[in-house]
Amino acid sequence: MREISSEQRRHRIRAENPWWADGRIRADFSELRPRAYFDRFRRLVEEPGVRRAVVLMGSRRVGKTVLLHHVIAHLLAGDEYRPEDLGYMSLDQPLYTRLSIEEAADEIRQSSGNADGLRVLFLDEIQYLADWERHLKAFVDAHPNVKCVVSGSAAAALRLKSIESGAGRFTDFLLPPLTFHEYLDLRGIRGLIEHDQATDQYSTRDIGQLNRHFVDYVNFGGYPEAATSPAVRSDPGRYIGTDIVGKVLLRDLPSLYGIQDVQELNALFATLAYNTAQEVSIDTLARRSGVTKPTIRRYLEYLEAAFLIKVVHRIDHHARRFKRATHFKVYVTTPSLRSALFGLVTDDDEEMGPLAETAVFAQWFHSNVALHYARWKNGEVDIVHLDRRQQPSWCVEVKWSDRPGQVANELNSLLAFTSRHRGAKPLVTTRTLTDDDVQWPGEVRLDYIPTSLYCYIVGHNAVRDQLEKMRRFVGDGSGGAEPGFRAVPN
């Protein structure tokens, strides 16, 4: 039986590192517009004097490989690195099976023709290497002059392993699905949003046009290729449903966690995706599926680990958490997951209500802000933020309708909650109405903003504030304070 030769591996490695020959990354990478996270990520890679590997995490198809290559192009454009100083390997290639990180680095050195030249090592799809976190920690310790940058798809599972095994050696970086702001930017859609620099206020000159793009975002917007490729947009079910969801449920999670019955997992995710933004319970899910409650709990953890869902916990009208979290809400991490599985939606579809709420949460997932929803016997509030004293500081009622600005009893729950918690600043999202369109007669001041504009603001501020936090971290090494995300523009 023939074995894979070193020369075969090196031929593949040279193909993956074309800059050794011409100083440039592949054109199909260089032609793509960088994501908003590029500047923040490349600062981590360039951070001097810190012996830490950078672990880039995220779900399938969010642009991790492209981001790695954009960083390589940035390093090549400067004066500090020669082309052979930078080595890249994608570990999902069969030619690299059973290679350790040490062996991978050695193969890259031999392939480049410069045995002493490797200074930055990029390893894509690190989850294909068994015990990757142990190998990476050992490599970082043994090679202080080589910066390691790795990526992986099963993001939360990788995060857990990096926390357990890489204390003091790894810096985790999460690349989420696209925000609405990023979606518009990648599509080249500009001029719809106006920003008053003096007041930091945002507005739109054409809410109808912005809403049309927002519905497109709900249908296609979570993944860069789905946002920009006509072929993918013509069949999102095949691209997102099969290539992203299918591979995660049928291959990634079973291999990571030893799941035997993938159909159970698949059915649970379909149920949760169809009911995104709805309250569910372990008891109900177990009863309807015939799956035991401990198994349901494990599956929920697995789906969160793969960044397919996000669980949001409930508080009562006193803003207190329940001791036993029997009920909670589940959101898909981007609304286009639901649209790909169950069909595209239009602006007047009934499903736009929960999908608009899902889109709002999808923007907040880019921040470190922990959000809850409030529910009690006679009411519910969609989003509640608790301050450090565990008191509500602001709350949001998400609507894809203008009725809240026209029918008083539409907001009874929000008003009841804010009357109990005077310090909680209330906000109502609508389809088209702003503060200027609504004359609210009540004592409590309510701010109104279109849902699409609110999503733009939250997504933009989340990325911007994270970048400011990274500048402070790289600047003084202190890590800075938690970013001050705003619920509404000041």
More confident residue, 196 or 358: 358
Distance of CA 154 to the CA centre of its chain: 12
Same-domain status, 17 and 136? yes
Write the DSSP symbol of residue 387.
Answer: -
For residue 66, which phi and psi values (nearest 5 degrees)?
Answer: -65, -45
Taking 60 as the threshold, does the pLDDT of residue 487 lie above it? no
More confident residue, 165 or 271: 271
Question: Would you place residue 405 in the very low, low, confident or very high pLDDT band (cuts 50, 70, 90)?
Answer: confident
Phi-psi sector, 230: left (phi>0), alpha (psi -120 to 50), beta: alpha
Mean pLDDT of 1-13: 84
Taking 90 as the threshold, does the pLDDT of residue 473 lie above it? no
pLDDT digits 0-9 by tens, 261-317? 999 999 999 999 999 999 999 999 999 999 999 999 999 998 988 889 999 999 999
Tokens of 319: 């803003």
Same-domain status, 465 and 376? yes
More confident residue, 244 or 284: 284
Helices (H), ranges, 290-334: 293-305
Instruction: Tell me what pLDDT residue 160 has.
Output: 62
Same-domain status, 158 and 185? no
Contact 462, 470 (CB under 8 A): no
Same-domain status, 352 and 430? yes
Query: Last residue of some domain: 153, 174, 195?
Result: 174
Write the DSSP symbol of residue 308.
Answer: S
Write the DSSP symbol of residue 61.
Answer: T
Same-domain status, 298 and 389? yes
Taking 60 as the threshold, does the pLDDT of residue 322 lie above it? yes
Alpha-carbon torsion (208, 211, 213, 219), positive or negative? negative
Instruction: Tell me what pLDDT residue 108 has.
Output: 96
Taking 60 as the threshold, does the pLDDT of residue 4 lie above it? yes
Taking 80 as the threshold, does the pLDDT of residue 85 lie above it? yes
Instruction: Tell me what pLDDT residue 367 has.
Output: 85
Task: Report yes or no on 484 lying in a domain.
Answer: no
Give me Rg for the CA atoms of the chain: 24
Instruction: Tell me what pLDDT residue 1 has.
Output: 65
Task: Report yes or no on 489 lying in a domain.
Answer: no
Task: Report yes or no on 481 lying in a domain.
Answer: no
pLDDT digits 0-9 by tens, 122-131? 999 998 888 8
pLDDT digits 0-9 by tens, 170-195? 988 989 999 999 999 999 998 999 99
Tokens of 344: 């595209």
User: For the domain that residue 124 is a member of, what is the CATH number?
Assistant: 3.40.50.300
Task: Report yes or no on 490 lying in a domain.
Answer: no
Helices (H), ranges, 258-316: 262-274, 282-289, 293-305
Taking 90 as the threshold, does the pLDDT of residue 463 lie above it? no
Same-domain status, 235 and 306? yes
Question: Would you place residue 167 in the very low, low, confident or very high pLDDT band (cuts 50, 70, 90)?
Answer: low
Mean pLDDT of 335-346: 96
Task: Report yes or no on 1 lying in a domain.
Answer: no
Instruction: Tell me what pLDDT residue 186 has.
Output: 93
Residue 124 in 3-state DSSP? strand
Taking 60 as the threshold, does the pLDDT of residue 411 lie above it? yes
Structural domain harbouring 97: 6-174
User: CA 62, 63, 69 angle in degrees (round to 5)?
Assistant: 165
Taking 90 as the threshold, does the pLDDT of residue 72 lie above it? yes
Instruction: Tell me what pLDDT residue 326 has.
Output: 85
Half-sphere exposure of 5 (CA within 13 A, CB side): 4
Mean pLDDT of 208-213: 98
Instruction: Tell me what pLDDT residue 469 has.
Output: 56
Count of all residues that appear for the chain in the document: 490
Question: Would you place residue 480 in the very low, low, confident or very high pLDDT band (cuts 50, 70, 90)?
Answer: very low
pLDDT digits 0-9 by tens, 376-397? 999 999 999 999 999 999 999 9
Same-domain status, 19 and 153? yes
Contact 474, 47 (CB under 8 A): yes
Taking 80 as the threshold, does the pLDDT of residue 426 lie above it? yes
H/E element holding 201?
strand 201-204
Tokens of 371: 């959000």
Task: Report yes or no on 487 lying in a domain.
Answer: no
Instruction: Tell me what pLDDT residue 358 has.
Output: 99
Taking 50 as the threshold, does the pLDDT of residue 475 lie above it? no
Same-domain status, 153 and 237? no
Same-domain status, 170 and 184? no
Contact 104, 112 (CB under 8 A): no
pLDDT digits 0-9 by tens, 9-42? 999 999 999 999 999 999 999 999 999 999 999 9
What gap in Å lies between CA 471 and CA 71, rounded to an integer? Answer: 17
Same-domain status, 196 and 141? no
Instruction: Tell me what pLDDT residue 398 has.
Output: 98
Same-domain status, 169 and 202? no
Mean pLDDT of 450-457: 98
- Indicate the average pLDDT of the chain: 89
Tokens of 148: 């390691």
Residue 316: other Cβ atoms inside 10 A: 12
Query: Last residue of some domain: 174, 191, 212?
Result: 174
Contacts of 61 (CB under 8 A, 6+ apart): 223, 224, 225, 226, 240, 243, 244
Same-domain status, 187 and 126? no
Contact 248, 340 (CB under 8 A): no
Query: Last residue of some domain: 137, 159, 174?
Result: 174
Task: Report yes or no on 468 lying in a domain.
Answer: yes
Task: Report yes or no on 482 lying in a domain.
Answer: no
Instruction: Tell me what pLDDT residue 470 has.
Output: 46
Mean pLDDT of 201-223: 96
Mean pLDDT of 79-97: 94
Residue 150: other Cβ atoms inside 10 A: 26
Contact 222, 335 (CB under 8 A): yes
pTM of the complete model: 0.90
How many domains would you assign to the chain?
A: 2
pLDDT digits 0-9 by tens, 253-263? 887 788 889 99
